[in-house]
């Protein structure tokens, strides 16, 4: 009955306004100034009626489509034609600064159907589909308009990041206000202004970026002093460009940067002039006909836990204020060439990624004296050369030159090879992954030498359990293996050297678990626990001790202030943290939010001849953030 009433209202209104429209040319021809004013008022009234008519038409079309679907009589083409216009109209209604072409004279052209889901808003959101058959009929739309088309996604009750949550900001921080069209290319602005500070009971001088290996033991005076530090250096800028190659394929480019880098000109006493740095810069190609995806450039490693499918900007990252995120979190941002294919109605994803390799060595026990290097005397660890007790020199890398930072760049014979499978059933997101890594060095004597290559790697996985879909979720992830310590937030070493100078990969275990809740649209609450540990590899020669975690190291002075008898290699780091973000304002002007976080970290060292020392760090983080494009 409601359907026929609306059809009648629509028809009656059209018939009522037709005479007015037909008489407009005659009225204009003989109108005075007063008549023109009245005519303009009539035009405004007609336009208002047209908008009402359009809304009524959309409602009618939706009900027709629903009725046909309920009776099983809707063809696929008719379903697209009817509900596509409604979806386009609904999408455009929610856009700030983008003209709604469905209003005014005439009707908008039909566009692909989009699942009406609160996580499917904005130019980077990727809608999910649902239904009895659970088979999406059209490409999902990640923008406001039909030109922003990428691969399809299946409903898993986890869904892509809600644009409002801090998880989305950590992964990409794209907005839905700063959307511009330049011919066939769409430009999307993102980023935020960030003012963050931390109060801690130890002086680490690392700001809101925790560097757990620098947490002092009791022998250092800064263990006994508190510290406050604040900065806006992690404010972020991002830009995405996207264009359709054809009806099924899209090319996009994403660039993201902040001011997190230090430089020789950084002045923490006056200008606080931190340096601009690249976070992400990559291009991506998505084909929705063959369901293949390609990414090339610097992005979050494919080892980083994901949220849905294997797609960029859908990484599952802790919503913490601390820039290092969480002890035990698996991640890296690095160059990669990623190939992904999805199967079974977009529920099974398989990916292979060739990524930049950078072995992190611990050679601190090798003093660099007593062997010959290039005929010029003692070796220098700072140049990537390590002196072994047998008189040989091991080269593990070389200092950067030219336009690279003068830090040590390790020898690498091959990239890291990473594989991942992701599964999106009707409930939850699940991943399994593996990595191969190849530490490489050279052992030399005067006049010759030989190369050594070790095979390292490991495996792990992650899951997101939507306990209350889109309201409360549990996250778990872990990775274990040899020679992969740098993929954890604590940056424990990948390897040390054995007695003959070849790489000795260290056992690495890293894991996190957490609960994230969205009790209201304005509030995000989280709690996480993270753990990362490293194995040991050591030897003794000539009365000296070498390697990582050697039980003969002197740890007797680690609890005595100003003592130098403290050679402590980290065995494990644990962090427990909880916090919340609250959005104070949200509208066309953007979003203003604040965050508060409490964190406790404990560091345990390998036992030596003075016992197993430990230390801890307690922190309170505060943050205010303005997102002008969200």
pLDDT tens string 221-238? 999 999 999 999 999 999
Task: Name the residue among 350, 491, 488 with its Cα closest to residue 423.
Answer: 350
pLDDT at 369 over 90: no
Bridge partners of 404, per DSSP, are none
Tell me which of 24-33, 109-118, 331-340, 470-479 is least confident: 109-118
Task: Name the residue among 377, 390, 378, 382 with its Cα closest to residue 364.
Answer: 382
Q: How far apart are CA 282 and CA 253, in angstroms?
A: 6
**Buried residues in 462-474 as b, exposed as e (16+ CB within 10 A):** bbbbbeeeeeebe
HEC readout, 101-125: CCCCCCCCCCCCCCCCCCCCCCCCC
Mean pLDDT over 471-498 rounds to: 97
Tell me which of 34-48, 425-439, 583-597, 609-623 is least confident: 34-48
Q: Which two tokens stand for residue 307?
A: 């949220």
Give residue 4's region: left, alpha or beta (phi > 0; psi -120 to 50): alpha
Q: Where are the domains of the chain?
A: 2-145, 188-265+272-627
What pLDDT shows up at residue 161?
84
What pLDDT shows up at residue 20?
47
Q: How far apart are CA 216 and CA 418, in angstroms?
A: 35
Helices (H), 147-209: 166-171
Quote the pTM value.
Answer: 0.78
Q: How far apart are CA 303 and CA 307, in angstroms?
A: 12
The single residue listed with the structure tokens 């800064």 is 222
pLDDT at 72 over 90: no
Fold of the domain spanning 188-265+272-627: Porin (2.40.160)
Q: How many Å separate Cα 138 from the centre of its chain?
A: 27
CA angle 358, 360, 361 (to 5 degrees): 135
Phi, psi (rounded to 5 degrees) for 14: -60, -45
Tell me which of 42-51, 301-310, 351-360, 416-425 is least confident: 42-51
Q: Which two tokens stand for residue 33?
A: 């100034």
Q: How far apart are CA 213 and CA 489, in angstroms?
A: 11
Q: How far apart are CA 498 and CA 283, in angstroms?
A: 41
pLDDT at 58 over 90: no
What pLDDT shows up at residue 60?
77
Residues 75-96: tens digit of each pLDDT: 444 344 333 433 333 333 333 3
CB 204, CB 211: distance < 8 Å: yes
CB proximity list for 37: less than 8 A, separation 6 or greater: none
State the pLDDT confidence band at 32, using cuts at 50, 70 and 90: low
Share of the chain above pLDDT 70, in %: 78
Task: Name the residue among 167, 332, 326, 321 with its Cα closest to residue 231.
Answer: 321
Task: Name the residue among 458, 556, 465 with its Cα closest to residue 509.
Answer: 458
Mean pLDDT over 527-540 rounds to: 97
- What sign does the CA torsion over 153, 156, 157, 163 have? negative
Q: How many Å separate Cα 402 from the centre of its chain?
A: 31
| Helix (H) / strand (E) containing 67 | helix 33-71
Task: Name the residue among 598, 528, 614, 573 with its Cα closest to residue 212.
Answer: 573
Q: Give the strand pairing for 472-482 and 456-468.
A: antiparallel
């Amino acid at each position: 009955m409601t359907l026929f009433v609306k059809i009648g209202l629509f028809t009656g209104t059209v018939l009522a306004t037709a005479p007015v429209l037909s008489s407009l040319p005659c009225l204009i021809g003989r109108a005075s100034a007063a008549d023109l004013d009245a005519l303009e008022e009539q035009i405004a009234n007609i336009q208002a009626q047209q908008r009402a008519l359009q809304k009524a038409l959309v409602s009618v079309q939706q009900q027709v489509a629903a009725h046909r679907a309920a009776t099983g009589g809707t063809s696929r083409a008719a379903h697209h034609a009817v509900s596509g216009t409604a979806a386009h109209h609904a999408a455009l209604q929610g856009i700030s600064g983008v003209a709604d072409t469905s209003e005014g004279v005439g009707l908008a052209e039909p566009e692909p159907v989009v699942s009406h889901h609160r996580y499917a808003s904005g130019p980077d959101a990727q809608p999910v589909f649902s239904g009895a058959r659970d088979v999406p009929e059209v490409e999902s739309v990640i923008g406001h308009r039909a030109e922003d088309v990428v691969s399809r996604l299946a409903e898993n009750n986890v869904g892509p990041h809600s644009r409002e949550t801090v998880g989305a900001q950590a992964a990409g921080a794209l907005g839905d206000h700063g959307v511009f069209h330049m011919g066939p290319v769409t430009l999307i602005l993102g980023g935020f202004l960030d003012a963050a500070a931390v109060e801690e009971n130890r002086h680490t001088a690392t700001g809101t970026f925790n560097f757990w290996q620098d947490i002092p033991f009791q022998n250092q005076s800064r263990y006994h002093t508190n510290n406050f530090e604040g900065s806006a250096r992690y404010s972020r800028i991002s830009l995405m460009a996207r264009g359709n190659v054809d009806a099924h394929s899209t090319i996009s480019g994403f660039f993201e940067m902040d001011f997190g880098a230090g430089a020789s000109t950084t002045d923490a006493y006056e200008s606080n002039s931190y340096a601009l740095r690249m976070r992400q810069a990559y291009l991506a190609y998505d084909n929705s006909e063959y369901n293949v995806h390609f990414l090339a450039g610097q992005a979050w490693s494919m080892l980083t836990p994901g949220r849905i499918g294997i797609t960029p900007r859908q990484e599952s990252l802790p919503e913490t204020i601390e820039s290092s995120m969480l002890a035990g979190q698996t991640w890296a941002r690095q160059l990669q060439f990623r190939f992904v294919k999805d199967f079974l109605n977009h529920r099974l994803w398989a990916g292979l990624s060739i990524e930049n390799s950078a072995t992190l060595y611990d050679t601190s026990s090798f003093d660099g004296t007593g062997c010959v290097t290039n005929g010029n005397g003692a070796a220098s660890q700072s140049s990537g050369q390590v002196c072994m007790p047998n008189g040989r020199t091991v080269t593990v890398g070389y200092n950067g030159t030219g336009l690279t930072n003068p830090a040590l760049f390790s020898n690498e014979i091959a990239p890291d090879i990473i594989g991942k499978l992701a599964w999106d059933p009707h409930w939850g997101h699940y991943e399994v992954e593996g990595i191969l890594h190849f530490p490489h060095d050279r052992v030399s004597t005067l006049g010759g030498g030989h190369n050594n290559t070790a095979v390292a790697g490991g495996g792990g996985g992650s899951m997101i359990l939507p306990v209350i879909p889109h309201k409360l979720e549990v996250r778990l992830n872990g990775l274990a293996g040899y020679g992969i310590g740098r993929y954890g937030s604590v940056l424990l070493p990948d390897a040390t050297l054995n007695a003959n100078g070849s790489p000795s990969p260290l056992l690495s275990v890293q894991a996190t678990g957490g609960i994230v809740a969205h009790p209201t649209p304005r509030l995000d609450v989280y709690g996480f626990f993270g753990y990362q540990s490293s194995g040991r590899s050591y030897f003794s020669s000539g009365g000296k001790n070498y390697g990582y975690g050697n039980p003969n190291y002197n740890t007797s002075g680690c609890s005595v202030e100003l003592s130098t008898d403290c050679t402590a290699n980290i065995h494990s780091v644990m962090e427990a943290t909880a916090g919340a973000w609250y959005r104070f304002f949200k509208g066309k002007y953007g979003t203003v939010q604040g965050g508060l976080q409490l964190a406790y970290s404990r560091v345990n060292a390998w036992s030596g001849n003075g016992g197993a020392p430990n230390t801890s760090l307690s922190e309170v983080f505060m943050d205010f953030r303005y997102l002008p494009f969200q």
